[in-house]
Amino acid sequence: MSDTGVLTSLGAVNPLDPGQRLLVVGGGYTGQRFAERLRQLGADVVVTHRRAPAAAGELPFDSSTGLLPSASELQGISHLLVTAPPDRQGQDPCLSSLKPLLDGLPLQWTGYLSTTGVYGNQRGEWVDESTPPAADLLPRSQARLQCEQAWLNSGWPVQVFRLPGIYGPRRNNLLALQRGDARHVHKPGQVFCRVHVDDIVGALLHCLRLPATQRPSILNVCDNRPAPSSELLGYSAHLLGCPLPELQWFEAVEGNMSPMALSFWRDNRRVSNRKLTQALGYALTYPSYREGLQACLKAEAPD
């Protein structure tokens, strides 16, 4: 299926009513994909970037420099999706800088993209939305949890979407294998969870189409199959028909890893998507990395 075909399969109804307008704070990987799909459905969407606006529908916003959109540019915003992560001080860029401008708006829905890192290390056990965070959260996960709380306490109708590793077109390990910089590291018992970017888009649209009273305040958005990263790399090499890089045991290479890379290997958990797929009835387009990587391969194939 082509990239456009995939987006088209994510439901054909504009979730916004005429006159409603959605602001995406942070037109990065997921924010841009979501905006693209909503625009295809006919919705009025504006997206912020830290660089100067380069096209219609783009607004400037950078909390670190104080670059803000004007009140008139935000006129009529009824829905908000926040994709910007906490800043270096652990504060939410949107709440710390945009809130005075947003306070005047009649927000009917706010989606906040968070991370499943807030569950911390659960030693490979399953977690769902009711699982309390582990006691020894990483500092960045602690900051994220505080940002989630700040949004949930903001007084607006907020949904927090907890995401695992995001992959999709132009962001996947097929590309790393093709570039020759994939690492084949294995730590026995360690799994990672992930989600295809179009299932984030699909889950957001699904929630927007639900009656407001049925939208959960916290929702995991991940696929069905937690798996070791070595398993994914093996499948990617199989799809490409290329050799796997030599296996490296985690224990043998951890001493050469950056603190950031090490922190990802510290947490081990299996994240349940039952609320999304069973209670809310969302059908994943990519139930596992297998379907997702196959689609990435097709989307990236030369015409």
Task: Report the interface residues with ligand NAP, using CB under 6 A.
Answer: 26-31, 49-51, 61-64, 83-85, 87, 93, 113, 115, 163, 165-166
Distance of closest approach, residue 48 Cβ to ligand NAP, in angstroms: 6
Distance of closest approach, residue 50 Cβ to ligand NAP, in angstroms: 3
Alpha-carbon span 208 to 227, nearest angstrom: 30
Residue with Cβ nearer ligand NAP (119 or 282): 119
Residue with Cβ nearer ligand NAP (134 or 242): 134
Residue with nearest beta carbon to ligand NAP: 28
Yes or no: say if 162 and 219 are a contact pair by the CB < 8 Å rule: yes
Yes or no: say if 199 and 224 are a contact pair by the CB < 8 Å rule: no
Q: Return the sign of the alpha-carbon dihedral for residues 185, 187, 188, 192.
A: negative
Distance of closest approach, residue 76 Cβ to ligand NAP, in angstroms: 21
Residue with Cβ nearer ligand NAP (89 or 256): 89
Distance of closest approach, residue 269 Cβ to ligand NAP, in angstroms: 13
User: DSSP string covering 140-156, please?
Assistant: HHHHHHHHHHHHHTSSS
Distance of closest approach, residue 211 Cβ to ligand NAP, in angstroms: 26
Residue with Cβ nearer ligand NAP (115 or 229): 115
Extract long-range pairs of 232-238: CB within 8 Å, 24+ residues apart.
232/173, 232/194, 232/289, 232/293, 233/173, 233/177, 233/182, 233/184, 235/289, 235/290, 235/293, 236/172, 236/173, 236/174, 236/177, 236/182, 236/293, 237/177
Residue with Cβ nearer ligand NAP (144 or 206): 144
